Every structure is written in C-alpha cells, then in structure tokens.
Amino acid sequence: MKLERHSPSSLNLFCASPSMFVLERILGVRQPVGSPAHRGTAVEDGVTHGLMNLMASVEDCTAVAIKKYDTISALSGDKRREDYRVTIPEMVKTALEELRPYGTPSRCQGFVEWRPDGLASPIVGYFDYEWEQHGVLVDLKTTEKLPSSIKIPHARQVALYTQSDNVDARLTYATPKKRATYRLENVREHRNALHQIALRLERFLSLSDDPEFFTSITAPDYESFYWGGPARQIGFERWRF
C-alpha cells in the first residue's frame, strides 16, 4: 500500500497512535472535526485578515473569524461549540498583538514539498506566515493553556517548512488570555525525525495491500484521547475487541 504524499499531521498521528492512523488513513474512517479545530481555523482567518490589512480593527478581524467559525461548525454536533465560540475574540486579539509588529507577511499559507532520500512519497505542508524581509516564518497555534516551550509534534511540522538555514522559524501560541512566540531550535534534528517517521511508515504500509490486514497488527488504546467519542465504538467494531 502506498500513500501519494505524507503530511506532518499524518506522520505525527502514526507516531502517536498507529491504530488511529490505520482507522483514518488506511480504512478511511475519518473522525468528526471538533470545536477546537474549527476555532483554530476561524482564528487563523481573522488573524490573516488583520495581518494583510494592518489598519483593520480588531472588531473587523473578529467578525471575519466568527463568520468562518459559524460556517464551518454549522452542522457540528459538538456540545462545546458555543463555549469555544465565545473565546474567539480574545484569541484573535492576543494573536494580532503578537504578530502585527512583524508587519504585513510576504506570504500566507505557503506550500512546501520535501523529497528526502529513501522516501517513495514526498512530505508536504502549508506554513501560516512568512516575512521574507525579516527572514522569519511563523506557524500559529491556538490552545487552551499556554505551553512553556514548543511541543514536539509542532516542532517537526515547522521543521518541514524550514528548508534553509537562513530562515528563523517560530511558533506562536495564542490562548484566550495569553500568547507567546518560541524560536525553533535544533531544526535539522526535528526534520530528520519527520523523515525517520515517514521511512518507518512506508515500511509499515509495504506489509500488505489489504487494508484490513493492518487491524490485525495494531491495537487501539481506548484510554487515549484519540479514541474518545464515537471512535471507541468504531474501534470495537473494526478491531473486534
């Protein structure tokens, strides 16, 4: 079995929960997108509007974000939908306070493709913002609690975008009350980790062309947050335990 391309999110998923990778990426049973992810998408839209239009008011940027959230979450059955919606204005505000000092980005949602030796398929992704004039690239993450450092999966993701040693790669975390930006260190090591995970994934996929085979060599951890909600019952049905 072969995937046409890899992404940091799919590689991080394979690393963290091989059985969930099997369910979503091999069996094709995708889990519903929750309110946190919808909020992240919406906040990014509002922040992008504010960065590309530096004179736009925070209220206008928030309106862009709220409209996006309401649109993409309209059919969501997530009971937390309204709880996450009310945090959007503060997240947009804190993120703009952090990023507007850089000025207008030279690129937003830039596509990156990497074809390291030994891989049958490329690793691809999209970074959030680049300020070429400053040599700075930033990925924006929304979260409930502000981390004290870059999370490892995020480090791998941003390392993919940093194909030149001259790029200053950073992660900006925004919560409803706080924000922080961390510079990515050890870029080559994180990029190598992404490469190594992809190599192991391709070896894993080479074991069979039968999707059901992969349920016979993996085991879901139903205590993991990956298997919350409807996924647990689907796991019982597909893995039969």
* Mean pLDDT value across residues 149-175: 93
pLDDT at position 76, please?
Answer: 86
Model confidence, pTM: 0.92
Mean pLDDT of 120-143: 96
pLDDT at residue 164 greater than cutoff 90:
no
Provide the b/e sequence for 47-62 (b: ≥16 CB within 10 Å): bbbbbeeeebebeebb
pLDDT at 212 (0 to 100): 95
Amino acid in the structure at residue 15:
C
* pLDDT > 80? residue 134: yes
Per-residue pLDDT, 13: 98
Please state the rounded mean pLDDT for residues 79-93.
Answer: 96
Q: Averaged over 96-106, what is the pLDDT?
A: 97
Q: How far is CA 187 from CA 8, 27, 155, 160, 227, in A?
A: 14, 33, 8, 9, 31
**Would the pLDDT of 78 be above 90?**
no
Query: What is the CATH code for 8-200?
Result: 3.90.320
Look at residue 229 in the predicted model and tell me its pLDDT.
81
Q: What is the pLDDT of residues 210-240, one digit of tens each?
A: 999 999 999 999 999 999 888 999 999 999 9
Q: How far apart are CA 19 and CA 9, in angstroms?
A: 15
Q: Where are the domains of the chain?
A: 8-200
What is the pLDDT of the chain when averaged over all its residues?
Answer: 95
